[in-house]
Structures are given as C-alpha cells and as structure tokens.
Structure 1
Amino acid sequence: MITLNDVSFAYSKKKEVFSNLNLTLEPGSIYGLLGKNGAGKTTLLKMMCGLVAPYSGSCTTLGEKAARKSPSLMRELFFLPEEFYMPDMRINKFVSLNAPFYPAFDLNQFHRYLDEFEINPDNRLRSLSYGEKKKVMIGFGIATNTKLLLFDEPTNGLDIPSKRQFRRIMASIANEDKCIIISTHQVRDLETLIDHLVILHNNRILLNENVGVITQKLCFKTVQTVANDQGIIYSESSLKGHNILLKNAEQEDSQLDMELLFNGVQHCPEKINHLFNLN
C-alpha cells in the first residue's frame, strides 16, 4: 500500500531528516509511528500523501507516485495534521463542500460520530474549542471510508472520555483492506489500539515490527530490584520499583509497554537493532 525506497530528504544542508530510508506498510494494520521531536514523523506522513517529495528515492502510495497527488490517489486517503485550518462556517456546510471529494463518504456515519462526541452539526467551526474541532475532523476523516488514514497526534486536545471513544471507533473500522497510520507522543492513549510499531531514530527506522513479534522477542516487567545477570536491555525507576525491558529468552507472556520500549530504543538502539534485524 505504501512503499518508500532509498528515500532521502532534508529541509536544509544542516537539517537532514531521512537518509536512504526504506519502509513498506501494508493494509490490515493500525501502525503507530513513534520518534522524538524532529525525528521526521510529520514529514514522513506528508511524504506518504504527496505534500512533500523526496530529494532522492521514491515514495509510492496505493501504487502511485505520491508526489503527483493524482485525483485517484487523493480520494482514497485522508490526512489529519496536528494543526489545521477551519473555515468560518457551520459543520454541515463544511461537510457539504468537502464530502464530494470522497466517493465513499457516509453522512449518517459522520453524524453518529458527532453524536458520540456530543457535537451539534449546526455549530460554527470557529466557535469550537481545539478539542471539539479535532473531534469533528476525526469523525469526518473516518467517515470518508478511504483505504488509507493518516493521523498526526490525533489525541492531542481530547479529554479522557473522547480518547476512549477514539480508540473504540478506530478499532471498529480496522479491516484487512484499510491501512491506518497514527503518529503520536501519547503512547499511553493508544497502547491497546496499535498492532504494529514503526520507530524513527537518527534519520532511520530502527524498529518496524508487529506487536506480537515484539512481545515474543522482548519481555516487559516491573521488579523491586535489578540484578546484573538478568539480561536487561533497559531499565527505569518507577513508583512500583523498576520497569525493565529484556530479551524474552524464556518466552514469557507480557504486555507491551510502548513507553518503556520507546525509551529503550532511545537509550540502547544498537541492542534493539541487533535483536530485531540480525537475529
């Protein structure tokens, strides 16, 4: 569905974002895109939908060169950036003007989402809070029923009940024909939703793996004391003792801790790279 081959990109000579980056994303998964500030998450999303083009290499989306932004491609993808402009009009008017660009848009579905988020479709967009605007755009984007959904920090600005509703709605629309990519820093908000992780680190992809494979190779634990002979890859103190990340030599069952994994990648990238790319 999305393929990047030897992609390099830089905003200036002093700010290289990607260097010979390769990545393939397939339908049927909800991808979590993680990385530190400036790692290139937003740039990568923009490249996938044709808003920026690689300096070298190629990016194809749904079988087409993304940078061409062909009508056939644009009607099958929806990108919600973290910051967006909302015109001064009623929600219903906004929908009537923009929904025709998406052949599979479902108005009844959109209104169901507005009901769940407790937003009146007669409200003016400019009168809404940032969180309410985000809910409108999330609902609109999902109701487009495109094959590809790209969300940049979708839970920013949402209250706790709305985050729960977002997770439930996203889980309900996931299917084998759809590819969903969510860039986020709010890993706790989406830990139970994401089934495939892509982690950017130092201009490259350090981890690109299904959650099931991650928990087969890594074990996530909380212990009272840390021993040197436990085969620990990374550890950090917590109120309950120490959260540890270690190679899953005993094939134990454990629940993915995305925050612990991400911190482990930042502090011990070579160990993570060796485990997933060389073993």
Structure 2
Amino acid sequence: MKIEVKGLTKKYGNKHALDNISFNLEEPKIYGLLGRNGAGKTTFMEILAGQILPSGGEILIDGEKPFDNRKLTESICLIKEGANFKQDLTVKNVLKIYSYFYPNWDKSLAEELVNEYNLELKAKVKSLSKGMESSLGIIVGLASKAPITVFDEPYIGLDAAARKKFYDILLREYEEEPRIIIFSTHLIDEVSLMFEEVLIIQDGKLALQENADVLRSNAVAVSGTIDQVEHFISDKEVIMKKQIAGMMTAYVFGHMESAIETGLQAEGVPIQELMIYLTERKGA
C-alpha cells in the first residue's frame, strides 16, 4: 500500500499539532517514527488510522482518505500506549471482536501469543496490569496482519525480557509477511536496528526522513587524544563531544574514512543520539 501525506495540518485552538508536513511511505518496511513528546507523532497516527480528521491537507492510502472508510480501516491497525480496549470486555472477547474486523486475522498466532504472555482469556481488561494490557495490544497488532500496522509506545509496563520477546516475534512475522510497520518509541536504542527508514517529527514538522543505514553511516564517533580530535573536528559539524583523562570522543557528520586515515578510532553513532541532536538544535 502507498501512503501519501500532503500538507497535513492539525490545529487544536491556536496550536499546531501538525504543521504542513508532506512525505510518502511506499514500501513494506519497518519505519521508525521518532520525536519528543508533543511533537505530533500520535496525532499523525490517529489521522492515518482514520480516527480523527485533519485541519488541512490530507493523507491518501492507495489514493483514498482513511476517515470513515471501512475498506481502508480494515487494512490499518493502530495500537496506542493505552486505552485501546473497552474495560468491561474480557481478553477472549477482545480477540473475537478484532478477528471479525480484520480480514487477515491470524487466530493461531493470537493463541500462541496469549500463551507466550500468560494472559487469562476470562480476565476483564479492567483487571489487567499495565503490562498485561500492553501484551494484549501487542497480540492484536501482530495477529491483525493488517497491511499497515502502527505501534505507538505499545509496551508500557513490560519488562526488558517481555519487550525483547515482542521485538523477536515482530521481526519473525515481518520476515514471513512483509507489510508497512510504523513504530513510534522513546526506547530508541532498543529497537533502532530494526528500523529500515527513520522519520523524525519536531514541533509538528518533518525534520528528517532517511534510510536508517544511511543515517547511521552519516554520523561518526571519532576518538583519540584531545589534541588529535580537536584538530580533526576544527572544520566539521560537531554533534557533541566528551572527554576524560586526556582522551576525547566527538560525534560528527560524515568523514568516517578520513578519521580512520588520520589514525583516529571511528564508529557509527546511535540513532537515539542523532534524534536528540536534531530535535535540540535551532533550525533542525
């Protein structure tokens, strides 16, 4: 499916949650949607899922608008960090309802994940812990097999082992049946290696859209003595630098090969560090 975002704007009173953003998502990929709290990520995802209308511009999915479009909303599954399900429903009822809504629902996968996360089918949503409710959201998102699957901080309350289990299953399912997966998270270091393309939203605007491998290779951590590193970075764009005991590490854009040629140690910079830098600097 092809997602076209054209001049998308959403205002709440005088505040722009989204401010005239445009981009396309055309291939089955795992997209990392990054940005600080209040950047506009959740608003974008809710418009994409057809849950709210924009104030201006549009999102087109295969040429159609998602709002009030049953054919399209059957192809989109949005799992948010909370309040995904009615509190009085049981786990079993939630799974049954979503199995009717999503044509590609994978019953065997849902059953596998219920056992994996030790959920009680008769338990009501309101009786679940935060982690268990997040597990239920993950099960619905993965078992929906929706061509566009969107996870917005889906693992609140899950410990590190449970999150890793989710990442492993997501990758397994994606490799078996590629689809557009949009993943918004603040735990960037945990999941950044999954991303094939990264989008960063800042103050309702698109700050960056880039292939993840290109993004990683364009930022370099250069290490050596303070004098060596200061000399090397004197004419380069520096993201940040830190020093200890006469040694320095500086993050710069590009120049991996030239750093190695001068005898400095050079390696890639984590995407989380880049995101922080890009959303802090003026005019990013």
| TM-score greater than 0.5 by the shorter chain | yes
Alpha-carbon contact 1:10-1:16 (below 8 Å) kept: yes
Bigger radius of gyration among the two = 2
Pair 1:18–1:224, CA change in 2 (3 A): farther
Pair 1:185–1:236, CA change in 2 (3 A): farther
Give the one of 264, 267, 273 matched to 2:280.
267
User: 1: distance between equivalents of 2:171 and 2:279?
Assistant: 29
Pair 1:266–1:89, CA change in 2 (3 A): closer
Instruction: Check if 1:160 corresponds to 2:142.
Output: no
1:180-219 residue pairs with structure 2 within 5 A?
180-219=181-220
User: 2: distance between equivalents of 1:243 and 1:116?
Assistant: 42
User: 2: distance between equivalents of 1:172 and 1:74?
Assistant: 24
Alpha-carbon contact 1:215-1:254 (below 8 Å) kept: no
User: 2: distance between equivalents of 1:242 and 1:158?
Assistant: 37
User: 2: distance between equivalents of 1:236 and 1:191?
Assistant: 22
Deviations 1:178-218 (A, max 9, x none): 10111111212212222211001233111101111112322
Secondary structure of 1:154's match? coil
Match of 1:92 in 2: 92
User: 2: distance between equivalents of 1:201 and 1:228?
Assistant: 33
CA RMSD of aligned residues (A): 2.5
User: 1: distance between equivalents of 2:80 and 2:34?
Assistant: 15
What is the identity, as a one-letter code, of the residue corresponding to 1:227?
A: E
Secondary structure of 2:256's match? coil
User: 1: distance between equivalents of 2:118 and 2:224?
Assistant: 42
Secondary structure of 1:65's match? coil
Alpha-carbon contact 1:200-1:206 (below 8 Å) kept: yes
User: 1: distance between equivalents of 2:79 and 2:86?
Assistant: 12
Q: TM-score, normalised by structure 1?
A: 0.87
Deviations 1:133-177 (A, max 9, x none): 110111112101110011111132211111101110111122574
Instruction: Check if 1:110 corresponds to 2:110.
Output: yes
Pair 1:11–1:26, CA change in 2 (3 A): same
1:1-279 residue pairs with structure 2 within 5 A?
1-13=2-14, 15-67=15-67, 69-84=68-83, 85-175=85-175, 177-221=178-222, 225=226, 227=230, 229-230=232-233, 231-235=236-240, 237=242, 244-251=250-257, 254-268=267-281, 270=283
Q: TM-score, normalised by structure 2?
A: 0.85
Alpha-carbon contact 1:245-1:260 (below 8 Å) kept: no
Q: How far has the Cα of 1:125 moved from its partner?
A: 2.3
Pair 1:57–1:128, CA change in 2 (3 A): same
Aligned residues: 269
Alpha-carbon contact 2:82-2:134 (below 8 Å) kept: no
User: 2: distance between equivalents of 1:74 and 1:238?
Assistant: 52
User: 1: distance between equivalents of 2:282 and 2:248?
Assistant: 20
Alpha-carbon contact 1:39-1:203 (below 8 Å) kept: yes
Alpha-carbon contact 2:220-2:256 (below 8 Å) kept: no
Alpha-carbon contact 2:50-2:69 (below 8 Å) kept: no
User: 2: distance between equivalents of 1:261 and 1:27?
Assistant: 24
User: 2: distance between equivalents of 1:135 and 1:95?
Assistant: 12
What is the identity, as a one-letter code, of the residue corresponding to 2:60?
A: T
Match of 1:276 in 2: none
Gaps of 5+ in 1: 274-279
Q: How far has the Cα of 1:4 moved from its partner?
A: 0.8
Gaps of 5+ in 2: 261-265
Q: How far has the Cα of 1:31 moved from its partner?
A: 1.0
Pair 1:267–1:27, CA change in 2 (3 A): same
